[in-house]
Structure 1
Amino acid sequence: MISSFRESKSDDRRFYIFTATKTLHLRTDSKRDRVAWIQALVSTRSLLPLRPLNDNLSLVPHDLSISTDRLKKRLHEEGINDDLVKDCEQIVLSEFSEIQGQLKVLCEERTNFLDTIRQLEAYNIESETSGFHGDYQLTKHECSSLGRGNSECSTTESSDDIEKQELEEVSYEEGTLFFDTEEYFTEPAVSCGSVRGAMDHADDLQETKKQLDNVEKIHSDNEDCDSRYPQIERRKKLPDPVEEVKGVSLWSMIKDNVGKDLTRVCLPVYFNEPISSLQKCFEDLEYSYLLDRAYKYGKEGNSLQRILNVAAFAVSGYASSEGRHCKPFNPLLGETYEADYPDKGVRFFSEKVSHHPTLIACHCEGKGWKFWGDSNLRTKFWGRSIQLDPVGVLTLEFDDGEIFQWSKVTTSIYNLILGKVYCDHHGLMHIHGNRNYSCKLKFKEQSILDRNPHQVHGFVEDLSGKKVATLIGKWDDSMYYINGDGSGKPKDCSPSSSATLLWKRNKPPPNLTRYNLTSFAITLNELTPGLQLCLISGI
C-alpha cells in the first residue's frame, strides 16, 4: 500500500514512493513519463485515500445480525409460555449485542494501530527526505588545531551538520550509477566478440584472481607479528553455552514503545551479543591493514592511493554487521576497554564518557597513523523497523600531518514483527581531507525489488572538484576502484581489466552461532594467558 509519493527537486525524471517500510527510488526515461506516473498515482490515491487516525472504520459488517426463530420454536415445543419465551429472546439478543460491541472495539483498535504505524513511518521518511541539507568543510586551519589525542572536531555539538542528508539533493548524484559487484566484474560480455571476447574474459578473471592474491599477500604482510612481541594464538570459536537459551519474542518487548528512544528501553539479555559497545567500536579496526597501506602510499607520494584505501577502510567497518541482529551490552559510565594486538600493530582504548545520551569515545594507534572519535546513536522505532542514526565524527591522522574526517551512515533494521530480520546501511558518507583529495560515498538503500543489495558507489575528487577515481562495490563483500570519473564504463564488455581490488571481506568462521560474530569479533573479549595474570583475585 502506498503511503505517499513525491517528485525529486533536482532531477525532472526521478520520483519517490514511500510505503510503510520501504522507499522506492524510481527514474523514468523522460520528464513526460514521470508526469504520467504521478498522474496515475494521484488518480489511484483518490480511489483509495489514506484513513485518518480518528476514523472509526470497523472490520465488523454493519448488517451483522442474529436470528432467534429456532430458539422460540424449540421453547414453544416444550410448552413454554410467550412471556418466558420473550424474556429468553431478550437475554440472547443482549448477550450478542455486548459481544458484538467488544469485537467492534477490538477491530477498531487494531485498525488504528496499523494506521498509526503506517503514518508514523511515512511521516518519518518524508520529513527526513525534505529536511536539512547541511554540509561542512574541513580546512587546513581547522586540521592544524587538532591535537593528536584531542577530539574537538569530534564533539556532538554540530550533530545537526552531520545528520543524514537528502539523497537527491547532492550534486554528484545526478550521474550516479550502481553496479552489482559480481555481475560487473565476472559476467562475460556477449557483444564483445565470440572467441576473442571469451579469451579476454578469461584473462580478466585471471587478473582479478591475481589482484585477490596480492590483497591477501599484503594483508598477511601487514599482519606479521612484530618481532618485539610473542605470537599470540587466539581462539577460533566462542565457548559453548552453559545452558540452553530460550527464545523471546522481540515484539512482546517493544510493542509499547513505538516512536520512543530505545536506548532507554530495557530488553532481556537474550537480545544481547557477548560483547559490549566498547568492544564493538574496535570492530571497525578489523581491516586496519588498509590504513597501514594508506600510510605507505602517502610516504611514497601517492596521495590518490592513500585516500582510496581510507575510503575502503571506512566501508569495511560495515562488513561485520551482516547477519548481526543482537545488540551489544551497554557498559557502565566510566567503564573502559583496552586492546593490544601486536600482530596487527594496533593499540586501542575506549571509554563510556556519558550515560544519557550514551556516548563512547575511542582512540587507536597504528603503524604511522592515529584514529579517534566519539560514538552516539539516535534511535527511532517505527513499529516494524528500527532506525539508528549515528552522531559523531571519526578522525584519522597520519604521522605526516594529513587528516581525514567522516561520519557514519544510517542503519535500519527491518521485519521486527513478521518475516526475516535484516539490516541495511544507507545514506551519504563524506570523507573530508585537508590536502589534495576528498571522497564521497553513497550507500544505496535496499528496495523491495532490489536483487543486488548492499551496493556502494562513490568517487574521489581533487581540490578543483574534478573526479579522479570511481569506487564501486558492496559493503558486505568488497570494494574496487577505476581511475577517472567512471563515465566511460562500457556496458558491452567486462571492465575487470581496468578495475582494481582494494578490499575483500574475510571469510566467516566455520563454527557460526546465532550471534554471527566474525573471526575478529570472537577474540575481542578473550582472556589470553597474559591477561589472566592481571586479574584481581576473588573477582
Structure 2
Amino acid sequence: MRHTCRGTINLATANISVEDSCNFVISNGGAQTYHLKASSEVERQRWITALELAKARAVKMQAESDDSGDEDPTSQTDKAEVHNTLRALSGKVEDLGTCNDLIAKHGTALQRSLSELESLRLPQDSSDKIKQVNERATLFRITSNAMINACRDFMSLAESHSKRWQRALQHERDQRLRLEETLEQLAKQHNSLERAFRGATVLPAQTRAGVPKDPCGGGKGDLSDEDDENEFFDAPEIISSPSQDCLGHKRSGSNISAASCDITEEQVRPPSEDARKERRTRIPHKPNYSLNLWSVMKNCIGKELSKIPMPVNFNEPLSMLQRLTEDLEYYTLLDRGAQCESALEQLCLVAAFTVSSYSTTVFRTSKPFNPLLGETFELDRMEDCGYRSLCEQVSHHPPAAAHHADSRNGWSLRQEIKITSKFRGKYLSIMPLGTIHCIFHNSGNHYTWKKVTTTVHNIIVGKLWIDQSGEIEIVNHKTGDKCKLKFAPYSYFSRDVPRKVTGEVMDVSGHVHYRLSGTWDERMECTPVRPENEADKSPEKEILLWRRNPLPKNAEYMYYFSELALSLNAPEEGVAPTDSRMRPDQRLMENGNWDEANSEKQRLEEKQRIARRKREAEREKVGSDDSPVDSYKPLWFERKMDPVSKEITHIYCNTYWDAKEKQEWSGCPDIF
C-alpha cells in the first residue's frame, strides 16, 4: 500500500515470529506488536509464507528505491515542472558565479591599489586604516567564494534528489485521490451489503406474512436503492425501530399519584377534535434524489457547520424555529404538572417533558433550514390545546433563536438556544447552548435546564443514526429541588438498553425521593424511594410518566415527521410576513422542487448578506464604536439580563399577538 492507515508496520523492517500452532506475532522492534491467530495451523502457515514473501519484495523495492528513482513513474507534467525548476535554479547559480568572478576581479584590483598605497610614505594612522580595509576586502572575497560554492553544492544535491521530490509529490496526490476513492467504494459496498441483507431477510418475511409496514418502524424507508452511484447514505433508515408498545397511545402516560396530581389523560386531551381533524396529516413524499455527500463534506472537517452553505438535499422542509417548537409536542406533561400539589412530583413531570423533546430525533437525520435573521414562527393552538408559541431568529452569527410559549393551563416556557456544531469526519456534534425556563403560575415554581449534545454518526459511510449524550440538571429555583438526568452514550460493548436515560429527583437537602428510568426515544418512568426507616420493605411500583406517540402512516416517506411536525409548515393566513411558512425555498423543497429551492436559498442568503453590509455601513456613518458589529435588534424579543439565570438573553416583549390581532406588520423586515 502506498498510503498508511492507523496502526501500520513496514514489512521491510518487520519481525515475524511463530508462537504456537495457530498464533504468530508481527512487530517492528517494540513500538508496535500485532498478535494474530489463525483458525488452524495450515492457515497460519499460509499467512507466514505470504508475509515472508511480501517482506522480501518490500526489502528489494526499498533497495531499488534508494538506488534509483526509475521504478515510480510520474506524469510528464510533473517531470517537466521539476526540470524547469532545476533549469531556473541552474541559471541563477550561473549568474551568481558571474557575479563572483566580477567580485574577484574587482577585489584583486582593489587589493593591488591598497598595496600600492601601503608602499607610499603616509602617516602612521593612514597606513593602519589602509591595512584594515585590505583585510576586510580579503574577507569579503573569501565569503563570496564560500557562497558560490554553497550554491553549487545545493544545485548538485537538488539534481541528485529531483526524482525523489517527484515521487514524494506524486505520492501525496495519489494518496489523496486513493482516500477519496476508497471512501466511495466502502460506502457503495456498505449500501450493497445492507440491500442484500434486507432482500434476503426482511422482504421475504413481509411477502410471506403479508404484514403492512409498521408506521413506527425505521427499517423500511430506503428511498434511494435504485441509484447508488453517488449515494453515500440513506437518511430515513435507522439502526433500530421502536418497540411496538407505542401503538395505540395517543397521549402521555398515567399520573404520578391520585392524591396530589389527579388530572387524568382524558382531562388533558384537547377538547376540540374537529379542530384537530382540519390540520393536515400528510405532505408530498420525499423525492428520490441522490447526492454525493463526500463531495460536499470533505471540505467541512473541523469547521462550524452553520457557516457552510449546504444544499437543501440535506434538509427537511422545516426551519430550526419550527423544530424548536416541536419541543411542545408533549405539552400535556406540563398541563399535568400545573395540577400537581407536590413540587417533587411536578419535577418528575418536568423531567419527562425534558426527555420527550428528543423522541423524534431518533428518526430525523435531515437538518432543518437555518432561519434567516428576523425570521419568525408562530403556533397558535390555544383553541384545541390551550397554548400558543412564538419563535424569532434573534442572531445570525452565532445562530440564536428565542422562543416563548404560554398556556391557559397555568404554565409558560421560554428559551434562547444557540446552536454550535462541528464536523469531525466520522460524526457531527451539535451542541445547543442556552437555558430553558419553565414557570408554573399557581405555585410560582421556576425550573431551568440546558440541552445535551446530539451526535450524528456515520456521516460518510453507512446509515446515519443519532445519539444523545450528556447530563441535564433541572433546578427548581423556588424550592431548591433538583433532578439530575444522565443520557448514556451508545456503546457497542454495553449491555444496557440503547438510548438509556436515568435520573434522580431530590429535595434541597439532597435526599432522593424519586428515581427516573427509561429511554429518550420511547418512555420514561419514575419509582418512589421509601425512607430507610419505613417498615414496609416491598418494592415500589414504577409509574409511567410519558410514552412516545406513534408516527403517522407512511412517515418514512415524509421525513419521519410526527403528527405535529406534519402540520407545522401548512400555509396559514394572518401570520407575520416573516413567518417560516412564507419561506419560498422551504416551500419549494417541501413540494419536491429541489433545484428551484437551491436557487432560491442562494438568493435569500445573498439578500441577507446585503442587509448586513448595509447595517454595518450605517453603523460606520454614525461612528459608534461601542456597539457590536451587527447592530440588528429583534422585533418581538428584547435583549436583557435574565433575573434567574443571570445570563444576557432575549425575553419576549408581549407584543406579537396584539400585532397579529390588528394585522399590524409594518415593523417586520423584508427578508423573503
TM range (shorter): 0.5 to 0.7
Say if 1:61 and 1:418 are closer, same or farther in 2 by CA, change over 3 A.
farther
- Alpha-carbon distance in 2 for matches of 1:527, 1:443: 37
Residues 413-428 of structure 1: pairs in structure 2 closer than 5 A: 413-428=456-471
> Which amino acid letter does the alignment assign opposite residue 362 of structure 1?
H
Residues 130-529 of structure 1: pairs in structure 2 closer than 5 A: 214=254, 218-225=264-271, 233-240=278-285, 244-297=287-340, 301-341=341-381, 342-366=383-407, 367-400=409-442, 401-436=444-479, 437-450=481-494, 452-484=497-529, 498-512=541-555, 513=557, 515-527=559-571
Q: Secondary structure at the match of 1:507?
A: coil
Gap regions ≥5 residues in structure 1: 1-18, 21-43, 50-59, 68-89, 114-181, 187-208, 488-493
Cα pair 1:374 1:392 within 8 Å, conserved: yes
Q: Secondary structure at the match of 2:330?
A: coil
Cα pair 2:552 2:563 within 8 Å, conserved: yes
- Alpha-carbon distance in 2 for matches of 1:517, 1:219: 24
Query: How far 1:47 sits from its partner (Å)?
Result: 2.6
Query: How far 1:348 sits from its partner (Å)?
Result: 0.2
Query: How far 1:107 sits from its partner (Å)?
Result: 5.7
Say if 1:390 and 1:402 are closer, same or farther in 2 by CA, change over 3 A.
same
Please give the per-residue CA displacement for 1:293-335, whole angstroms capped at 9, x wherever unaligned. Answer: 00001xxx22222111000000000001111111111121111
Q: Secondary structure at the match of 2:404?
A: strand
Cα pair 2:252 2:265 within 8 Å, conserved: no
Gap regions ≥5 residues in structure 2: 1-5, 8-28, 35-56, 76-162, 181-241, 256-262, 533-537, 585-671
TM-score, normalised via structure 1 length: 0.59
> Aligned residue pairs: how many?
360
Cα pair 2:285 2:558 within 8 Å, conserved: no
> Which amino acid letter does the alignment assign opposite residue 446 of structure 1?
Y
Cα pair 1:470 1:485 within 8 Å, conserved: no
Query: How far 1:213 sits from its partner (Å)?
Result: 7.1
TM-score, normalised via structure 2 length: 0.48
Q: Secondary structure at the match of 1:417?
A: coil
- Alpha-carbon distance in 2 for matches of 1:370, 1:391: 20
Q: Kindly, what percent of the aligned residue pairs are identical?
A: 32
Query: How far 1:483 sits from its partner (Å)?
Result: 0.7
- Alpha-carbon distance in 1 for matches of 2:576, 2:453: 39
Say if 1:353 and 1:313 are closer, same or farther in 2 by CA, change over 3 A.
same
> Which amino acid letter does the alignment assign opposite residue 559 of structure 2?
Y
Say if 1:352 and 1:61 are closer, same or farther in 2 by CA, change over 3 A.
farther
Q: Secondary structure at the match of 2:429?
A: strand
Q: Secondary structure at the match of 1:64?
A: helix
Considering fraction of residues, name the structure with more helix: 2
Say if 1:45 and 1:363 are closer, same or farther in 2 by CA, change over 3 A.
farther
Cα pair 1:480 1:502 within 8 Å, conserved: yes
Please give the per-residue CA displacement for 1:415-472, whole angstroms capped at 9, x wherever unaligned. Answer: 1111221110000000011233210000001112345210000100101101111000
Q: Which has the higher contact order (CA 8 A, sep 6+)?
A: 1
> Which amino acid letter does the alignment assign opposite residue 562 of structure 2?
T
Cα pair 1:444 1:454 within 8 Å, conserved: yes
Query: How far 1:528 sits from its partner (Å)?
Result: 5.1
> Which amino acid letter does the alignment assign opposite residue 276 of structure 1?
S
Query: How far 1:399 sits from its partner (Å)?
Result: 0.6
- Alpha-carbon distance in 2 for matches of 1:379, 1:45: 40
Say if 1:531 and 1:233 are closer, same or farther in 2 by CA, change over 3 A.
farther
Which structure has the bigger radius of gyration? 2
